[in-house]
Amino acid sequence: MSDVFVQPVRGFSRTIECPPDKSITHRAILFNAAANGKSEVKGILTGEDCLSTIDCMRALGATVEIVGNTARITGTQRFRSAPLYAGNSGTTMRLLCGLLAAKQGEWTLSGDESLSARPMRRITHPLEQMGGMVLSQNGHAPLTVRGTQLHGIRYEMPVASAQVKSAVLLAALGAYGTTQVVECEPTRNHTEILLEQMGVRISREQNALSLQGGQSLSPVCVTVAGDISSAAFPLVCGLVTGGVVTVKNVGLNPTRTGLLEVFDSVGVAYEVSDVRTSGGEKTGTVTVKNSGHGRGFSIGKQIMPRLIDEIPVLAVLACFLGSESVITDAHELKVKESNRIAATVRLIRAFGGIAEETESGMVISPSGGLQGGCTFHPAGDHRMAMAAAVAAAASKQGGRVCGAECVRVSYPDFWQMLAGERT
Ligand code: S3P
C-alpha cells in the first residue's frame, strides 16, 4: 500500500457497520486475560493496537485464541516474566503498567518511536505513590515494572486521562486498603463498566471513584460495541461531501459522544435509531444527511475527553462551516500518536484551508471548502491519515496520503470502506 490517492467525491453515501471499539477491545482482552477462568469476547477489533495487547497478554502466560472476530481467553493470575512490546499503543502500555505493578515479577515494556516519545510520568507518579516501582527513561518508555506490594492512595488526576484512571484502578485491585481516584473531568468509563461486570465493587461519589484492594477478576463474556471515534470519519465524510451516511452499531456511551454534541451545536441534522444496551454499553445506528453549512463550533475543557480522538476530522468539518471554529484546552492532543494540534493545522493548510495554531488548540476559519491537489504525510498517525483522506475526498482536486497503512492501528478496513468495497 504505502501511498493512496483519494479522488474527490460528491455525495459520499454509505451504509456500514461500525468498526469495533478499540478502547473496549483492549480492556475486554486485558482484563479477561488477567481473570480466573475462561471467557469469550465477541466482535473484537483486530487492529494493530489491540493485537499488541493480545501479544502482551500471551507473553504473560494467558491463552488468547482468535477465531474470526472472537477472542477465546483463558486468564492467568501469575504472570511470566517476558519482554512486552506495546507497538504504537498507549492504552496497552499504560494499562499494563497498572495491572503489573502489584504482581510478582519484573517486566520491561517498550514501544515504537511514537510511543517512546509519549509521556509516562502520568502513570509512573501515581503508581510510585502507591509504593510501586516503575522505572522510566526520563519519563518515557522503555519502562521496567518491578512488581511489589502496593497500598491505596487518594489520587487527584492532574490530566483528564482514561488511561491514567484505568492504570490506577488496575493497580488498586492488588493493593492494601482503598484507592480513590478523583477525575478533573469525566473521562471514558469503559474500565469501570467492565470491572463491575467482572465482580469488582467500585463506589462513586461525584467525580471520585473508590475501589477496595484485594479484589480479583471473574471472567465475563462480552460483545464489543462499535467505535464512535472510527465512525466519525465516514460520518464527517458524508457531511462534507453532501452525502448520506449510516453507521450501524455505533457505541453511544455518553462519555464518548462529544461528536454528536458538536453536530447538535453546529446545526447538523442526524438521526439515532435502533438504540440498545449490551454489557452496560449503549449502541445505536447513526445517520447523517448533509443539511447545508452549519455555524462554527467552540469546544473546550469540559467536552474535550468526550471527543479527544475526533478533533482532526472535526477540524476538516470546520473548513466547511459558515463561521469560525475555536478549539481550546486541547493540550492533550500534543501528546497523542503525533502532535495532533500541529499536524491538524498542517493538514488543513496543505488542503488550502485556513487554520492557526494557538497555545492550547487552534482556530479554523471558514474557507468554503478545500482545494486539495496536495500530498499529506501523517507521520504514522492513523487518525491523521484518515482525517486527510476525508479532506481529500471533500476537496476539489483530491489528495495523496502517504504511509496509508497506518490506519491498521484502529480501522483496518478504512480504505476499502472509503472505496465502497466494504459495508
Ligand atoms: C483511550 C483514552 C484516550 C484516547 C485513546 C484511548 C483509552 O487517551 O485518546 O485513544 O482507551 O483509555 P487518554 O486517556 O490518554 O486521554
Q: What is the pLDDT of residue 332?
A: 97
Give the model's pLDDT for residue 423. 59
pLDDT at 66: 98
- Specify the pLDDT at position 422: 66
How confident is the model at residue 368, as a pLDDT? 87
Q: Give me the pLDDT at residue 350, please.
A: 98
Ranges assigned E (strand) in 252-387: 270-278, 281-289, 298-299, 325-327, 354-357, 362-365, 374-376
The DSSP 8-state label assigned to residue 302 in this structure reads T
The residues, ordered by sequence, that sit 6+ positions from 68 with a Cβ below 8 Å of its Cβ are none
Ligand 1 environment, Cβ below 6 A: 23, 26, 91, 161-163, 166, 187-188, 308-309, 332
Measured in angstroms, how far is the CA atom of residue 58 from the centroid of ligand 1? 23
Q: Give the pLDDT of residue 1.
A: 66
State residue 421's pLDDT score: 83
Q: How far is CA 141 from the centre of its chain?
A: 20
Distance 84 CA to ligand 1 centre (A): 20
Closest CA relative to residue 235, chosen from 30, 377, 386: 386
Ligand 1 atom closest to Cα of residue 187:
14
Question: Which residue's CA lies nearest to atom 9 of ligand 1?
Answer: 309
Atom nearest to 164 CA in ligand 1: 14
Q: Please tell me the predicted confidence (pLDDT) of residue 205.
A: 95
Residue 258 Cα to ligand 1 middle (Å): 14
Q: What is the DSSP letter of 252?
A: -
pLDDT along the chain (423 residues), means of 10: 94 97 98 98 98 98 98 96 97 98 98 98 98 98 98 98 98 98 98 98 97 98 98 97 97 98 95 95 95 88 98 97 97 97 98 98 95 98 98 98 98 97 69
Nearest C-alpha neighbor of 64 from the set 89, 90, 33? 33
Ligand 1 test: best mutation among 31, 161, 301, most atoms within 8 Å of CB?
A: 161
Hey, what's the cell of 391?
479532506
Q: In this predicted structure, what is the pLDDT of residue 290?
A: 78
Say how many Å lie between the CA of residue 398 and the centre of ligand 1.
31
How far is the CA of 213 from the CAs of 3, 177, 383, in angstroms? 50, 5, 37
Full DSSP string of 382-413: HHHHHHHHHHHHHSSS-EEESSGGGGGGT-TT
Cell of 414: 478504512
Q: Strand pairing partners for 176? A: 151
Residues 350 and 376 sit within 8 Å (Cβ to Cβ): yes
366 preceded by a cis bond (ω within 30 of 0):
no
Measured CA to CA, the distance from residue 322 to residue 7 in angstroms comes to: 25
Cell 498517525 -> residue: 381
> Ligand 1: which atom is nearest the Cα of residue 165?
14
Distance (Å) from CA 331 to ligand 1 centroid: 14
Cell readout for 284 is 445505536
Instruction: Report how far apart, in Å, the C-alpha atoms of 229 and of each of 290, 313, 386 are.
Output: 20, 10, 11
Name the residue of 118, 120, 163 to mutate for ligand 1: max ligand atoms within 8 A of Cβ.
Answer: 163
Question: Is the dihedral angle over the CA atoms 60, 62, 68, 69 positive or is it negative?
Answer: negative
> Closest residue (by CA) to atom 16 of ligand 1?
161
Q: Is 413 a catalytic residue?
A: no
Q: Which one of 21, 49, 227, 309 is the catalytic residue?
A: 309
Asked if residue 188 lies in contact with residue 256, where contact means CB atoms within 8 angstroms, the answer is yes
Length of the chain equals 423
Among the atoms of ligand 1, which is closest to the Cα of residue 332?
16
What is the full DSSP assignment across 320-346? TSSS-EEE-S-GGGGGSSS-HHHHHHH
User: What gap in Å lies between CA 381 and CA 88, rounded to an integer?
Assistant: 9
